[in-house]
């Protein structure tokens, strides 16, 4: 296992220094586009309302059990506005050499859905509001380089991420494949967007890194619990999560209003990354495979292509007791004794017992006679008894 991980790391280090080809990197239509040398994510709003997505996840009930404290979530995206009042605990890193600012707003949106802190008077908070956020910026444009995405994933692992969210879609690439393998080998939960249907490009194709084995792939659902029309049905999907009519944090200390453009598997992936953080906080000894299994097996059930196990259920994912959990909590059963540990009793020897009882009775009778004789004979002599004499001498 150690040798295998070393080989993965070495191959990754070799891969990421090679030039990477451009690929479609955004899993949703980002609300803005930054021109070279200009950082303009667009206008936000100061007034928001609770969305159907938040209500459907029943987060206040989950927060009675855990809020994600002690877990680090890395967001591989377009950057993060750490000056936002609900994102001040976030740490912004960059692998693009353009600075850690979020000039598109997409990374700030995704990060807010995952772990925006609760704020008095605000109806909005992230799924895991006490989780630690790390933003690793890999692109400053709507289309980024796969090589930088891979490098950002590696950096997130090195920064101590327990969960990595990749709300982007790209083509299969050796760099990306190696980066994901490296993260999984380090027991990191990797969550990725299943991708959106692009009608202009024709038929949908599998999105990566969501299609790699071991990655929690997330599709988008609407208020009716069904897969949204924009959600890619070709990518293998683990679960669905709310992905339409999204409201979240926005650069400048603001929020974005829900509208038709703000939908996609990017945001659905963020919700599930937050759930993964809650599970890891509540069950810190679980492996990344066990975390993924909990999220999948506690979902609400899916029907049709691209739905996986259905809509994620945070409360069940955190609180359900699996058979393996019950065994771990119960005292271990003692090991069964080997069949020859206790020798069987020998068969009863009735003949010997009968003989022994007869000898014992004879011995007892002899002892009684001897005792009687030792008492009666001297007594008779004192009274003048003679053997063979029946006359009464008195």
Domain boundaries of the chain, sorted by first residue: 2-323, 345-385
The residue-averaged pLDDT of 162-167 equals 97
Residue bearing the bigger pLDDT, 8 or 205:
205
pLDDT at 240 over 70: yes
Averaged pLDDT, 211-234: 93
Mean pLDDT calculated for residue range 218-232: 92
pLDDT at 304: 82
Output the pLDDT for position 303: 78
pLDDT at residue 47, rounded to an integer: 79
**Which residues are tagged catalytic?**
77, 106, 266
Mean pLDDT of 41-61: 88
Q: Which residue has the higher pLDDT, 11 or 385?
A: 385
* More confident site: 234 or 379: 234
Lowest mean pLDDT among 34-43, 91-100, 223-232, 279-288: 34-43
CATH number given to 2-323: 3.40.50.200
State which of 140-149, 164-173, 329-338 shows the largest mean pLDDT: 164-173
For residues 300-326, give the mean pLDDT.
87
pLDDT at 7 over 80: no
Q: Is the pLDDT of residue 113 over 50?
A: yes
Could you tell me which residue, 176 or 205, shows the higher pLDDT?
176
CA distance 98 to 363: 112
Mean pLDDT of the chain: 83
User: For position 341, what pLDDT does the model report?
Assistant: 63
What's the pLDDT at 13? Answer: 47
For the chain, helix (H) and strand (E) counts, in that order, are 11, 9
Q: With 90 as the cut, is the pLDDT of residue 68 above it?
A: yes
Whether 254 has a pLDDT exceeding 50, the answer reads: yes
The model's pLDDT over 125-164, given as tens digits with 9 standing for 90+, comes to 999 999 999 999 999 876 678 999 999 999 999 999 999 9
Burial tier of 390 (Cβ tally within 10 Å: 0-12, 13-18, 19+): exposed
More confident residue, 37 or 68: 68
Q: Which residues contact 203 (CB under 8 A, 6 or more apart)?
A: 234
- pLDDT over 90, % of the chain: 54
CA distance 336 to 6: 41
Look at residue 115 and tell me whether its pLDDT is greater than 70: yes
Model pLDDT, residue 217: 98
The reported pLDDT for the residue numbered 298 is 96
* Alpha carbons 272 and 279: distance in angstroms, whole number: 10
Residue 141 has a pLDDT of 73
The pLDDT, as a whole number, for residue 352 is: 76
Nearest to 71 by CA among 351, 379, 219, 282: 282
The yes-or-no verdict on residue 40 having pLDDT over 90 is no
Distance, in Å, from the CA atom of 34 to the CA atom of 48, rounded to the nearest integer, reads 25
Q: Write down the pLDDT at residue 17.
A: 37
Structure confidence at residue 351 (pLDDT) = 77
- DSSP β-ladder status, 254-256 and 248-250: antiparallel
């Amino acid at each position: 296992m150690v040798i295998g991980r070393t080989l993965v790391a070495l191959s990754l280090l070799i891969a990421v220094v090679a030039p990477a080809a451009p690929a479609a990197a955004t899993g949703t239509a980002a609300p803005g586009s930054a021109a070279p040398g200009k950082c303009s994510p667009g206008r936000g709003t100061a007034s928001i309302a609770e969305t159907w997505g938040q209500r459907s996840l029943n987060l206040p009930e989950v927060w009675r059990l855990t809020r994600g404290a002690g877990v680090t979530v890395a967001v591989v995206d377009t950057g993060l506005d750490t000056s936002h009042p609900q994102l001040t605990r976030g740490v912004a890193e960059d692998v693009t050499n353009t600075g850690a600012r979020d000039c598109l707003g997409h990374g700030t949106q995704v990060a807010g859905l995952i772990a925006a802190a609760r704020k008095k008077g605000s109806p909005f908070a992230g799924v895991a509001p006490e989780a630690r956020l790390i933003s690793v910026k890999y692109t400053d444009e709507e289309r980024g380089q796969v090589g930088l995405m891979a490098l950002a994933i590696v950096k997130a692992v090195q920064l101590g991420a327990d969960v990595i969210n990749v709300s982007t879609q790209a083509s299969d690439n050796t760099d990306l494949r190696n980066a994901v393998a490296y993260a999984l080998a380090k027991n990191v939960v990797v969550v990725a967007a299943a991708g959106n249907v692009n009608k202009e490009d024709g038929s949908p194709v599998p999105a990566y890194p969501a299609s790699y084995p071991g990655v929690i792939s997330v599709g988008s659902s609407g208020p009716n619990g069904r897969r949204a029309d924009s959600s890619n049905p070709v990518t293998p999907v683990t679960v669905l999560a709310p992905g339409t009519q999204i409201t979240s944090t926005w650069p400048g200390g603001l929020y974005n209003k829900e509208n038709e453009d703000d939908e996609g598997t990017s945001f659905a992936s963020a919700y599930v990354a937050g759930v993964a953080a809650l599970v890891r906080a509540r069950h810190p000894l679980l492996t990344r495979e066990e975390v993924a299994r909990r999220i999948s097996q506690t979902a609400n059930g899916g029907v049709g292509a691209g739905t996986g196990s259905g809509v994620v259920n945070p409360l069940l994912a955190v609180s359900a007791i699996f058979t393996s959990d019950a065994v771990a909590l119960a005292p271990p059963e003692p090991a069964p004794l080997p069949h020859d540990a206790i020798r069987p009793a020998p068969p009863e020897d009735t003949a010997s017992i009968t003989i022994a009882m007869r000898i014992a009775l004879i011995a007892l009778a002899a002892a009684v006679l001897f005792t009687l004789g030792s008492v009666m004979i001297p007594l008779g002599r004192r009274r003048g008894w003679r053997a063979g004499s029946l006359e009464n001498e008195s």
